[in-house]
Structure 1
Amino acid sequence: MQKRDDGHDTPATDPMQPRLLALLEELIQETHPDRCNGVPVRLNSRLDRDLGLDSLARSELLLRIEQAFGVRLPESALLADTPAALLQLLQSRSATKQQPGKPRATVSPSAPEATHGSFGPATGAPTEATTLNAVMDWHLQRHPDRPHLYLYGEEDDPQILSYGELELGARRVAAALELRGTRHGDRIALMLPTSRDYFVAFFGVLRAGAVPVPIYPPARPAQLEEHLRRHGRILDSAGAGLLITVAEASSVAHLLHAEAPQLRHIVTLAELDEQPSSAPPHPPEASSLALLQYTSGSTGDPKGVQLSHAQLLANIRAMGERLEATPDDVFVSWLPLYHDMGLIAAWLASLYYAIPLVVMSPLAFLSRPLRWLELIDRHRGTISGAPNFGYELCLRAIPPERIQGMDLSCWRVAFNGAEPVSASTMEHFTKLLAPAGLRRDALMPVYGLAEAAVGLCVARPGRGVVVDSVNRDRFAASGEARPEYDPAAAQGFVNCGPPLPGYALRIVDDQGHTLAERQEGDIEFQGPSATDGYFDNHEECEKLRHGDWLRTGDRGYLANGDLHVSGRRKDVLVRGGRNIYPYDIEAAVGRLEGIRKGCVAVFGSHDQATGVESLIVVAETHVEDPAQRRELHGAIADTVVAIVNVPADDIRLVPPHSVLKTSSGKIRRAATRDFYQQGRLGERAPPVWRQVAGLTLRSWCRRLRLGLAEACNWAYYAYAWSLFGLGIGLLALVGLPLPRLAWRWRAAHIITRALMPLAGIRLHVHGREHLPGKRPCVLVTNHASYLDVLVLTAALPCTMRYLAKEELEHRTATRLPLTRMGALFVERFDPRQAERDMQQVEQAVAAGDTLAIFPEGTFHPEPGLDDFHMGAFLTAAHAGVPVVPVAIDGTRRLLRGREWRPHPGRVAIHLGSLLQPEGSDWNAALRLKNDAYDFILRHCGEDRRRRG
């Protein structure tokens, strides 16, 4: 026998050890070809600190080990710290010689195949529910035995949890919490891995009327102590009095009291097991706090996003409407449950729509990405997704031959969000899985943030990945996203889709002024799930709000109403789908002996080709001895891993004054990153006076550019309104005095048609041939802006009589021009007068007049097609004349809401085929209304407006 490097005995002739170390050497040479720290690969080498292997590289290593040795390693192999630990697992598994086999062999054929249909189909949705508790009650009344969760662990067969079983476990937890003094609104922290315990504990907290606070669990038991120390600040911020966690945490519970003195209990789920009472305790209200979502990795200054039951349900319903979710869908997820995408988008949305949720842990995905695809195939998954790194990991870890025999044609929504989306990654992923039936149009970039619950911008299914190519130099110089068709001069931005129904976006400059389309700025949003702020953090709440809008911290631009994200204003890094904040790392590295305190910069360097963001540490030091620098390099690597559980991709030791700072001493991370990417780290910084002068000059130049842009905007406002005023004057002098209504409309058409290009409005009309000529009809169109009448008049060369609200008849400025243009005034509030007015409208149609009606009645600042009133369609049915549906797309972007600041741009008008009434009764009018609404909804560029 011989001694291993870690002190354990291993047979001297064991052939596995050299083969394993050779695999490691090969992988390290591929991932770090310039590795120069001189550390050989030994059995006791640390995979992260010494060898620089992150979770993605370790996933690749496990795949190669399984293929080389013909065994299947457990998920826990991803947590192995050293080659010795891997060798021990390899030796134990090699005794059984489990072959990895074909792709579907990892899932037992005897396990239930999508058994969610065995208990009958679910119908409808809990649209009247106002809380998550009420949603669960709705399902329990209709299908308590319907499988809700398929939980995959180490075994090939899932653990199935029905609605009734989840409720029973939750009620027992709620009763136990009540016995421990939990009151309505108390915050209960959850630090649990993906398992049955998590789901039961989460809903048990809700049943107790308390507020769950998810915290990500430790990746390795050996790091539990440091993990709890760093999360004490989150527990303190939330004011959590109880923590539900794993059994291993009880031995170090005392460490939390210094950071979170109000924490009274640390318990496991097994300890929360009481017989539930018949009545549920403390039912919450719609406005009650349902969740505190702490931004992942935020330990220095934790911010807990407050989300009520109403806000969560509003976002879930909006996402479900956009994705056309039904109980026939199947959601497959490995996303972390402490993150909003895994918790809300995957689980709570599936709970609401009675969608079976197939769950595997993030660790299982990282150790074997192929299993994600296998479960989609096996359960006929229709919805699933990942951050960009998840798709990239599949490309790196799954060879094409491993997908043979798979059928992924069922996958209709493959969303990509939570970190920057790489079009290249999506393209390669499509090519990899095309032989398995994955459709290109299933891929869906999305955008969201915890402050909106989770989802904010989602496209309709079936669009695929759309990339907007803009001129690179123009975008860098002025922020203008001008389309560019020359690939050599173009920069691409992925289209993240339009806002969800009921939500609105705007792009603003540094002064908070709204920018026009295709102009980059800060992204702000409004919507029914917008958070009320951060829990007990007034200062951060003030930073979040900008009037009635919320700041996202991201930058981007709008094009045709769709969002294109260009970057992040905040300094947070995204690594492996998790946010990492630089401040904790900088402070810890700065405390190391030999490092200049306050002279450390941590930032991300984004790889455009792969979409992966590297973690870079730049630290100043006076140390020049090579051996001491290697020791310092290793100490920094240890510190980074201890804080964020992932290794740094690159550590640079640089001379003093290499890390760039502001004049007030703050680290300039973005500027240091630019120097790093340009290979200029270590350059001697210019004198302070030159830095100050340069900053001052750039500041004044930027102010000048912004001032010129603002001046140009105001110049256009003045110019546009002067044109409109000129048009009104010409119409009053030339058109209104004309004796015939048809002549007056012809004059109005000519004047407005001439004004459009002068005002920079590009008008495109489609389907003009559908107009019935001289025959009467009823034109119905959506109403989005004050510009609607202007563009309709310019687009349609026919005589029309608009319906106008009666208040305009009593105003001197509007009565004469509207009367001369043939407007019919109708009462909106007195039912008897409104009925008499509509009789006059019907008489006008019977006499041969063409009516133009906005059946929505009015318009709103935010996008969305409102429901239609029946008056226009009853008129058409009673008079026996056809309805012409007209969709206006673009006027809201040119003149939003009740603002008076117009913008140039494109407007499209689509005329539909004639809709002939099939009778004169209510049902005939209703069919006209539904057909017209469907046409306008398809062509107006907006979604159905949500009520309530």
Structure 2
Amino acid sequence: MSRFVETLVASAQRNSGENGRGLTTGEPEQPRFRTWGRVHADALRIAGALGAELEPGAAVAVLAADPALIAPAVQAVWLGGGSVTMLHQPTPRTDLAHWAEDTLRVLKMIGARLVLLGPPFEQLSGLLDENSIAHRDLAALAESDAAPLAGPVEVGEDATALLQLTSGSTADPKAVRITHGNLHANLLAMVEAAELDAERDVAVSWLPLFHDMGMVGCLTVPMAIGMSAVKVTPADFLARPLLWPELITKYRGTVTAAPNFAYAIVGRRMARADDGDFDLSSVRFTLNGAEPIDPAAVRTFTEAGARFGLSPTSMVCAFGMAEATLAVSFAPLGRGLEVDVVDGDALEHRRAEPVSPDTPRARQFALLGGPLPGLEVDVVDDDGRRLGDRQVGRLRIRGAAVTPGYLTVGGPLSTQDSAGWLDTGDDGYLVDGQVVICGRRKDVIIMGGRNIYPIDIERAACEVEGVRAGNAAAVRQEAGSRRERFAVVLESRLAGDEAAEKALRKEVAARVVDAVGVRPSAVVVLAPGALPKTPSGKLRRAATATLIPTD
């Protein structure tokens, strides 16, 4: 069996007794705990019930919300030699016709032979029947009395374990092919870099399992090393964000992870909570990744959490991407948020010159640490020449955790060049061995020879009262032309009030001019929830551009 599957089996064997570590689900209404040994036994039973439908190399898609069902289901697929694809989940606001069209394209792209359906998505079985796609009821499989799979199926290190759907903004789906070897390499690297201790650490997470940080970091890693984990759903978190610190308090959580926006939301709410509502003194590792890190949002969270015992040094800023399985770099442990302050004018000409924070147009970037064990990161110019410290260029990664390729609607696509390097698509630089991300290269706004990063515009817009935090997008217009410009599209509860909208647009434009020295061509105000986003919450810039009125 692969080394990854060996870790799953070993974890189950170590945690098969009454005192074994495992997975807690069902909070806050009906908490349920199962040891990893129990999860493994359930996985063997599910694999046995699937029989010939599960075979080496089979692509199996999963559409379910309950982590209690998902955990044994994905392990069952791995034990049977198949690959897992977590389908993006429709929400109450999703256009089901569009979702169905996109999902059918994904299933065809990955060559899925089977879909495992769990609550609340059983009603979609008719759609699958109409398109001759086999499916099984996951809840029924979990209760099956079929003979369990005798043991793991032999697969090689290059066999596909996970087909991670990307959350890009294009219409065409794409899946990152993660091998058993990739998974094993990255989970070991994360264990080492985060100093995870299966006997001591407890992970608490609400992250979606169709996203790499939720699936790999907050479910697969605990399952593989036998670390206790508490898992709720994104819907649980969005309904009551303070459930997150409540669960950390209840279970003495030590490890957690989230995108930057979630720390901002919870920080603001904890600031209004009563003394004694939470006890966060057990937390030692709060990973911040998956989207640009705003130092102000980090400070909002750590300062609010300090009243409840949270150590400010627990914050670990990180760089990750599905193409590296999950993690590329972690900031050094025990140091908390560290920023690099650079001259904004020099940055626009691809130089990261350090300045004091009170310098006009200074820019702050979170330091994201050095590459994890087994990975390399470098920076090159457009001609592929390696750049030195503080020179801004194209970030590349190489190593055992890096995917060999994508599956696309047009067929397989390699990701690495002849030397094994993968272009991340990010602009950034290195300083003292640590990674700094400036922004996505394709989103850079070029005006008068200056490289303006959307994040600077978006942070300036979000500083204006009335703009929803984290819900502003700077969008390129007429890219590559002499008249390249940009617009700002934002969400506000003031949408629909003509006078209030006019004042908000004026203030946002002025704040953006102060920040980057250029006025947006337009400021568009939308109602809350109207900004187009991917299923994992990232802005869909191409779709956002269609919301800008034409001249």
**TM superposition score category, shorter chain reference:** 0.7 to 0.9
Q: CA 1:485/1:647 → structure 2, altered by over 3 Å: closer, same or farther?
A: closer
Name 1:566's counterpart in structure 2: 438
Q: CA 1:255/1:529 → structure 2, altered by over 3 Å: closer, same or farther?
A: same
Q: CA deviation at 1:250?
A: 5.0
Name 2:25's counterpart in structure 1: 151
Question: 1:334 is aligned with what amino acid?
Answer: W
Contact 1:456 / 1:499 at 8 angstroms: preserved in 2? yes
Q: CA 1:316/1:278 → structure 2, altered by over 3 Å: closer, same or farther?
A: closer
What are the Cα deviations for residues 776-818 of structure 1, in whole angstroms up to 9, with x where unaligned?
Answer: xxxxxxxxxxxxxxxxxxxxxxxxxxxxxxxxxxxxxxxxxxx
1:111-126 pair list within 5 angstroms: none
Question: 1:344 is aligned with what amino acid?
Answer: V
Contact 1:480 / 1:518 at 8 angstroms: preserved in 2? yes
Name 1:318's counterpart in structure 2: 189
Q: CA 1:403/1:195 → structure 2, altered by over 3 Å: closer, same or farther?
A: farther
Contact 2:368 / 2:434 at 8 angstroms: preserved in 1? yes
Which of 36, 46, 55 pairs up with 1:173?
A: 46
Question: 2:213 is aligned with what amino acid?
Answer: M
Say whether residues 1:161 and 2:34 are aligned partners.
yes
Q: CA 1:499/1:241 → structure 2, altered by over 3 Å: closer, same or farther?
A: same
Q: CA 1:644/1:337 → structure 2, altered by over 3 Å: closer, same or farther?
A: closer
Q: CA 1:277/1:378 → structure 2, altered by over 3 Å: closer, same or farther?
A: closer
Where 2:341 maps in the other structure, the secondary structure is: strand
Q: CA deviation at 1:444?
A: 1.1
Name 2:514's counterpart in structure 1: none
Which of 168, 193, 214 pairs up with 1:342?
A: 214
Q: For 1:529 and 1:644, how far apart are their aligned partners in 2?
A: 25
Q: CA deviation at 1:641?
A: 8.1
Contact 2:344 / 2:363 at 8 angstroms: preserved in 1? yes
Q: CA deviation at 1:431?
A: 1.2
Q: CA 1:324/1:650 → structure 2, altered by over 3 Å: closer, same or farther?
A: closer
Which of 89, 109, 134 pairs up with 1:264?
A: 134
Q: For 2:340 and 2:242, how far apart are their aligned partners in 1?
A: 31
Contact 2:117 / 2:136 at 8 angstroms: preserved in 1? yes
Q: Which has the higher contact order (CA 8 A, sep 6+)?
A: 2
Contact 2:85 / 2:164 at 8 angstroms: preserved in 1? yes
Q: CA deviation at 1:403?
A: 5.1
Which of 607, 610, 627 pairs up with 2:459?
A: 607
1:806-825 pair list within 5 angstroms: none
Q: CA deviation at 1:613?
A: 4.1
Contact 2:12 / 2:38 at 8 angstroms: preserved in 1? no
Say whether residues 1:289 and 2:160 are aligned partners.
yes
Q: CA deviation at 1:373?
A: 0.4
Name 2:338's counterpart in structure 1: 466
Q: Which has the higher helix share?
A: 1
Question: 1:178 is aligned with what amino acid?
Answer: G
Which of 179, 182, 185 pairs up with 1:308?
A: 179
Say whether residues 1:244 and 2:116 are aligned partners.
yes
Question: 1:270 is aligned with what amino acid?
Answer: A
Q: What is the root-mean-square deviation of aligned Cα atoms in Å?
A: 3.6
Q: CA deviation at 1:230?
A: 2.3
Q: CA deviation at 1:560?
A: 0.6
1:307-456 pair list within 5 angstroms: 307-327=178-198, 328-402=200-274, 404-456=276-328
Larger Rg: 1
Question: 1:606 is aligned with what amino acid?
Answer: E
1:128-207 pair list within 5 angstroms: 130-145=2-17, 146-155=20-29, 158-179=31-52, 181-207=53-79
Contact 1:192 / 1:246 at 8 angstroms: preserved in 2? yes
Q: For 2:63 and 2:207, how far apart are their aligned partners in 1?
A: 15
Say whether residues 1:214 and 2:86 are aligned partners.
yes
Contact 2:270 / 2:305 at 8 angstroms: preserved in 1? no
Q: CA 1:453/1:513 → structure 2, altered by over 3 Å: closer, same or farther?
A: same
Contact 1:175 / 1:274 at 8 angstroms: preserved in 2? no
Q: CA deviation at 1:479?
A: 0.7
Q: Please, which runs of 5 or more residues in structure 2 have no aligned partner?
A: 445-453, 464-468, 479-495, 497-525
Q: CA deviation at 1:168?
A: 1.9
Question: 1:151 is aligned with what amino acid?
Answer: T
1:94-109 pair list within 5 angstroms: none
1:630-709 pair list within 5 angstroms: none
Question: 2:25 is aligned with what amino acid?
Answer: L
Which of 358, 375, 383 pairs up with 1:487?
A: 358
Contact 1:444 / 1:464 at 8 angstroms: preserved in 2? yes
Where 1:291 maps in the other structure, the secondary structure is: strand
Where 1:197 maps in the other structure, the secondary structure is: helix
Q: CA 1:497/1:647 → structure 2, altered by over 3 Å: closer, same or farther?
A: closer
1:818-837 pair list within 5 angstroms: none
Say whether residues 1:509 and 2:381 are aligned partners.
yes
Which of 118, 125, 147 pairs up with 1:276?
A: 147
Contact 1:229 / 1:255 at 8 angstroms: preserved in 2? no
Q: For 1:204 and 1:173, how far apart are their aligned partners in 2?
A: 6
Q: CA 1:254/1:360 → structure 2, altered by over 3 Å: closer, same or farther?
A: closer
Q: CA deviation at 1:298?
A: 6.2
Q: Aligned pair count?
A: 484
TM-score by length of 2: 0.79
Where 1:436 maps in the other structure, the secondary structure is: coil
Q: CA 1:460/1:285 → structure 2, altered by over 3 Å: closer, same or farther?
A: same
The 4+ residue runs of structure 1 with deviation greater than 6 A are 537-540, 616-620, 636-643, 645-651, 667-670
Q: For 1:550 and 1:222, how far apart are their aligned partners in 2?
A: 33
Q: For 2:326 and 2:227, how far apart are their aligned partners in 1?
A: 18
Q: CA 1:523/1:299 → structure 2, altered by over 3 Å: closer, same or farther?
A: closer
Where 2:296 maps in the other structure, the secondary structure is: helix
Where 1:429 maps in the other structure, the secondary structure is: helix
Contact 2:186 / 2:401 at 8 angstroms: preserved in 1? yes
Which of 371, 375, 386 pairs up with 1:499?
A: 371
Where 1:212 maps in the other structure, the secondary structure is: strand
Q: CA deviation at 1:173?
A: 1.2
Contact 2:185 / 2:374 at 8 angstroms: preserved in 1? no
Question: 2:247 is aligned with what amino acid?
Answer: L
What are the Cα deviations for residues 139-165 of structure 1, in whole angstroms up to 9, with x where unaligned?
Answer: 23333131310113341x520011221
Q: For 2:355 and 2:414, how far apart are their aligned partners in 1?
A: 39
Q: For 2:104 and 2:149, how far apart are their aligned partners in 1?
A: 36
Q: CA 1:447/1:619 → structure 2, altered by over 3 Å: closer, same or farther?
A: closer
Q: For 1:668 and 1:150, how far apart are their aligned partners in 2?
A: 38
Identity %: 31
Where 1:612 maps in the other structure, the secondary structure is: strand
Contact 2:201 / 2:253 at 8 angstroms: preserved in 1? yes
Q: CA deviation at 1:614?
A: 2.4
Q: CA deviation at 1:485?
A: 1.8
Q: For 1:638 and 1:206, how far apart are their aligned partners in 2?
A: 40
Q: CA deviation at 1:484?
A: 0.8
Q: CA 1:256/1:472 → structure 2, altered by over 3 Å: closer, same or farther?
A: same
Q: For 2:48 and 2:79, how far apart are their aligned partners in 1?
A: 9
Contact 1:148 / 1:160 at 8 angstroms: preserved in 2? yes
Q: For 2:170 and 2:530, how far apart are their aligned partners in 1?
A: 14
Q: CA deviation at 1:243?
A: 0.8
1:655-804 pair list within 5 angstroms: none
Contact 1:430 / 1:438 at 8 angstroms: preserved in 2? yes
Q: CA deviation at 1:343?
A: 1.0
Say whether residues 1:522 and 2:394 are aligned partners.
yes
Q: For 1:650 and 1:351, how far apart are their aligned partners in 2?
A: 32
Q: For 2:374 and 2:119, how far apart are their aligned partners in 1?
A: 44
Question: 1:612 is aligned with what amino acid?
Answer: G
Question: 2:193 is aligned with what amino acid?
Answer: R
Q: For 1:270 and 1:263, how far apart are their aligned partners in 2?
A: 18
Q: Which has the higher strand share?
A: 2
Contact 1:133 / 1:283 at 8 angstroms: preserved in 2? no
Q: For 1:396 and 1:161, how far apart are their aligned partners in 2?
A: 34
